[in-house]
Amino acid sequence: MKNLSRRRFLKASGAAATAGAALIGSGLANAQERAAPGATTLPYPREAITRAGALEDNVPVPFNYPDAESFCQIIKTGHPVPGGIGPDGDIVAFSTQCTHNGCPLSYDKEARTFKCGCHFSIFDPEMAGQMVDGQSTENLPRILLEHDTADDSLYAVAVEGLIYGRQCNLL
């Protein structure tokens, strides 16, 4: 086997790095084609969830957003809350995966909070999903909603915050 000089090694390394950068660049170009030029966030789908009039006070309704693997709940609190939408500003939605370890959250109707059965973190949906107790250090990702007053429909349109276990909310 022939000895590889420093010069030839550097030339070969440079060529390999250039080829790798070109492949990565073409992948980024494909991702940018899907997003609007100059966009800093990826486009979320707009998905119908339910009608505002169909929601009952303090009764969560499960749905999936932005994909089938992301579990969420929408809640009508019965009084205006930060980030609330709908006729009374009292409808909010959140991811129901704990931000500590991704465990499923359950809604406690009496306490009006989301609770994690794994490590006992507690989140307040009436305060924008704020973490109020436990080992978690992040608030719940909030599902941004739109209300169509023409037919009373509620739509999920984006996620504010990062869903547990993901580097990007859109897979």
**pLDDT tens figures, 38-77:** 555 678 999 999 999 999 999 999 999 999 999 999 999 9
Q: Is the pLDDT of residue 123 over 60?
A: yes
Residue 125 one-letter amino acid: P
* Res 31 pLDDT > 50: no
Task: Give yes or no: 147 in active site.
Answer: no
Q: Across all residues in the chain, what is the average pLDDT?
A: 87
Supply the pLDDT for residue 30: 46
Confidence of residue 170 (pLDDT cuts 50, 70, 90): confident
Q: Please report the pLDDT score of residue 63 as a whole number.
A: 98
Q: What is the pLDDT of residues 71-99, one digit of tens each?
A: 999 999 999 999 999 999 999 999 999 99
The CATH topology of domain 47-160 is: Rieske Iron-sulfur Protein (2.102.10)
Higher pLDDT, 6 or 122: 122
Taking the CB of residue 135, how many other CB atoms lie within 10 A of it? 14
pLDDT score for 59 = 98
Please tell me which residue in 59, 109, 119, 165 is annotated as part of the active site. 119
pLDDT for residue 8: 76
Q: What's the pLDDT at 126?
A: 97
119 is catalytic: yes
- As beta bridge partners, residue 1 has none
Alpha helices in 6-51 (DSSP H): 6-34
- State the number of CA atoms in the 13 A half-sphere of 23 facing the CB: 6
| Confidence check: pLDDT of 109 > 60 | yes
| Confidence category of residue 117, pLDDT binned at 50, 70, 90 | very high
Which of 29-38, 87-96, 144-153 is predicted least confidently? 29-38
Non-local CB neighbours of 130 within 8 Å, separated by 6+ positions: 123, 124, 139
Q: Which of 98, 100, 126, 129 is the catalytic position?
A: 100
What's the whole-number mean pLDDT along residues 106-133? 96
